[in-house]
Amino acid sequence: MRWGACVVVACCLFQVVCFAAEGYFPAFSSAGGGAGYWYIQAVEADKASRLICGRGVKMVVVDSGVDYTHPDIASHLYLDFAYDFGDNDTDIMDYLGHGTAVAGIISKLAPCAKIIPLKINPGSSPAFSDNNLKRALRYVLNLKDIQPNIKIVNLSITLANPDDDVESLITELLKKGVVVVAASGNDGEKKISFPASVPGVIAVSSLNQQDAVSSFSNYSPKVFISAPGEEMEVSYPNGYTFMSGTSMASAVVSGVAAALAEVVPVDKLPLVIAKGSVDEGNPGYDEFYGFGKVDMLKSLAAYFSMDFPLFPSRCHLSPEERKDLYFLPVNKAGYFIENATVVQVASFDPSHGSITVKALSVGKTFVCVYSDTKAGCSFVVVGEKRSYVSPLFFYGNLFVDLHVVNNLNGTYYATSTAFKDRAVSRTTILYAGKLPYGDFVFQLPADEIPEGEGVKEFLICGDGLICGRDIF
């Protein structure tokens, strides 16, 4: 966190260091809440790790180096191409602690991925020059040509001022098919720090253990996603400590992205991360959470469902109630229930593309149907009966499943949001009148489907309805 030319740095508890710096690392030491690695469960990496871990993925961490002797990190490093641009040598030992913390978070979430550390600060300095950052980014550009498995670059850093050369280098990385993740900054203001503000970069805001946006986190319509970033137990030179900051949140998203990149093509990673996010705060996209809180398991399910969706993608049932879910007919398929105590399958007919589930007890579960090469999932909630809406974008059309418990009078609205580079555009469509009782499925007319490039969200809400959304 920075005040003028002063930075609270990660090297010592709450130490304030003042300097004339061009760049810094947005993190600070914290007392710790005793919850340890709470972020692993918060993003459901503990569940997703049974399926993915980042096999075959390399990523670059541009930071303060790394303690390459640390037992939590040593086996996760790829040091053949590591370099220290701050001291102009190949010894990337971290004397500050920030880079070790970032690498430790990533290795917890994507333990099979390999991290290439690049150090940009001299010695133990909490500052770095923009020139060292440029040299490191040019190095990554060249390295990508001989190491094609480099899929992600983490930038848990901020520069005091935007720099055209840095932006051009990052843009070239994006064009080469590298996902760039960056910290939004720790000023607690409505702005996004540079280089997270570069178009195409995944800008990350920070959350606490209650899923509230951290008081120090920057926010704006340029935020893409949010992630845990407070009171994080992290690896540290010669041991462990607790740290907070959007640096930590950026590392969480990079770790999730690295794990997903084992199966998800790089060009689909931003969409899959957004599509699988948990909608927090106000319904739909907002400037604090972006598309929502990152979730590794839901993003994985979203990816597998993109070409083989179950409809509705989300539904609410009362105990003993039955519900038909639909999918593209196939000759041979199976099904999987994440929690068999919540629902059971009453009937399954792959040739006609239907599966009927029966609610057993209060709870939440994924119901998935899979063929040889594809899978689709629906998120089923069993509990008090509530009205809900579940939109699905598929093959250029929006289908909306509306379940109304009681006939509702009033207005419900659909909001389309297009997130492209630095700009968020939004349009709202209003519908007035009496909503039908029971299940109602309709196809949205083509002229009302959200337009524009980039990641798009369709949100539909109304009086007495649980909002539903789809991201495509």
Pairing between β-strand 375-382 and β-strand 322-326 as defined by DSSP bridges: unpaired
What's the confidence (pLDDT) of residue 385? 73
145 annotated active-site:
no
Q: What is the pTM of this model?
A: 0.90
Specify the residue for token string 């809440």.
33
How many CB atoms sit inside 10 A of residue 75's CB?
9
Of the candidates 197, 247, 305, 416, the residue annotated as catalytic is 247
The whole-angstrom separation of Cα 29 and Cα 159 is 20
Distances (CA, A) of 193 to 166, 190, 315: 13, 10, 39
In 3D space, the residue among 106, 124, 116 whose CA is nearest the CA of residue 45 turns out to be 106
107 burial via Cβ count (<10 Å: 0-12, 13-18, 19+): buried
SS3 state of residue 247: helix
Of the candidates 29, 63, 197, 220, the residue annotated as catalytic is 63
70 annotated active-site:
no
Residue 395 neighbours by CB under 8 Å, 6+ apart: none
The whole-angstrom separation of Cα 182 and Cα 18 is 23
What's the confidence (pLDDT) of residue 7? 39
Q: Does the CA dihedral 317-318-319-324 come out positive or negative?
A: negative
401 annotated active-site:
no
Domains along the chain with CATH numbers = 2-302 (3.40.50.200), 307-384 (2.60.40.10), 386-472 (2.60.40.10)
What's the confidence (pLDDT) of residue 30? 75
List the pLDDT tens digit at each of the 472 positions of the chain.
Answer: 332 333 333 333 323 333 345 888 888 887 665 567 999 999 999 999 999 999 999 999 999 999 999 999 999 999 999 999 999 999 999 999 999 999 999 999 999 999 999 999 999 999 999 999 999 999 999 999 999 999 999 999 999 999 999 999 999 999 999 999 999 999 999 999 999 999 999 999 999 999 999 999 999 999 999 999 999 999 999 999 999 999 999 999 999 999 999 999 999 999 999 999 999 999 999 999 999 999 999 999 899 888 888 888 888 888 888 999 999 898 899 999 989 999 999 999 999 999 999 999 999 999 999 988 788 899 999 997 777 888 888 777 777 777 777 666 556 777 878 877 666 777 776 666 556 655 666 666 555 565 566 888 888 887 777 888 988 8
The whole-angstrom separation of Cα 53 and Cα 101 is 19
Size of the chain in residues = 472
Of the candidates 70, 76, 98, 316, the residue annotated as catalytic is 98
